[in-house]
Amino acid sequence: MGWAGVMENRVSAAEARQPSHPLSVPTVSESPRHDADKTCDGKAVGFVLVHAGAGYHSESKAKEYKQVCKRACQRAVEKLKAGAMAVEAVTAALVELEDSPFTNAGMGSNLNLLGEIECDASIMDGKSLHFGAVGALSGIKNPVMVANRLLQEAQKGKLSAGRIPPCFLVGRGAYHWAVHHGIPPCPSDKMATKFSLSAFKRNKRKMELAEKVETENKQTKKRRQSTGNQENDSGSLDTVGAIVVDREGNVAAAVSSGGLAMKHPGRVGQAAHYGCGCWAENAWNLNPYSTAVSTSGCGEHLIRTVLARECSAAMQSEDAHQALLETMQNKFISSPFLASEDCVLGGVIVLRCCKCVESRPPQDIQALLVEFLWSHTTESMCVGYMSAQDGKAKTHISRLPPGAVAGQSLAIEGGVCRLGSPVD
């Protein structure tokens, strides 16, 4: 049985509905076009979309950001080509993202107020709908591995004496559970990098100076903080994530983060919260599409809007692009749950897929149609995507248009991937 795949980027711009408070909402419509038509072996089918965070990506480090996204895509596709399910492939992508010193996840994560690394991560399987997560986890190199193991253990059923297995663990409890289940520990000092340590020292000095600022200068300090991300943490870009569809049409999503720089010890961001960091759900009776979502940005904003699940639900609409645009505008930027916020920061990657039969004489083709999108209100968002038919991944740093205000404007782009096989 031969497989063929066609991928095409579809990028369009649309004006978003104006929110209740005056915000400008321009959209970006700039993206490379990708067309491919390849024939591969029967196992080589599937698709992966990853992100290296929604935040600010400096031009000087653009190559590094794109390279880590490319490697993450390749790791996932290697698993898919070997016949792995979506959950295994999305975990492989996240491990690659966590291992990069350029991302704020796993190795090189932001340090908290005490100079310690505490990580959050979660994963969701669209087929079983099981979920695994860890929060404020220290001493483990790849938090997503613990989240995935929690998911796997939960799928085995109840524990002794009828106890319900955990799906979300935090702190020392999460660490001891991970070690007990064979996940090797990693000293926290080995997880910090020269960059994360220097950023901690720089941020600590700024905090000490800020505490001396008089009350009448608070507004000036607020403006400085809202625009300071570019010079302050240009390499620590919040959450990373991935979404995958496998050869059977199963979807999975995962997310991992070191959290905010100088956060309070014990703080848990959206990367570990159910429905906030990631979401994956196979098609069923009332939902014609399988959907997967991974988010990034200000954890508190994403938690209060449950953005991952909101985006997933929106993908059941007829027009995916318009549905995501309206969700980002109405359920995020102008959400009543964030009415007190004047700068709403976040980004998402989403996909939806469905199976259909296309008539292509002399033989019908059973196709898997994958629509994928990304959107962000931050200055930029770095993404990478790849189908199992591609020789290499495509990467792109999406940016707000000139003059757009981060936290008050949004960008949205995406494409379509068709995968198919002859019907026997």
Distance (Å, whole) CA 258 – CA 123 = 16
Choice among 27, 91, 103, 239 that is catalytic: 239
| 291 catalytic per annotation | no
Sign of the Cα pseudo-torsion (168, 171, 176, 182, in order): positive
Q: Quick check: 65 and 240 in contact, CB under 8 A? A: no
Distance (Å, whole) CA 259 – CA 247 = 33
Distance (Å, whole) CA 106 – CA 47 = 24
| Continuous H helices in 181-213 | 188-191, 194-210
- Would you tell me how many other CB atoms lie within 10 Å of the CB of residue 9? 18
- Would you tell me how many other CB atoms lie within 10 Å of the CB of residue 122? 35
Beta bridge partners of 396: 383
Q: Quick check: 146 and 301 in contact, CB under 8 A? A: no
Residue type, 51: H
Q: Quick check: 20 and 338 in contact, CB under 8 A? A: no
From the CA atom positions of the chain, what is the Rg in Å? 21
Could you give the residue numbers annotated as active site?
A: 239
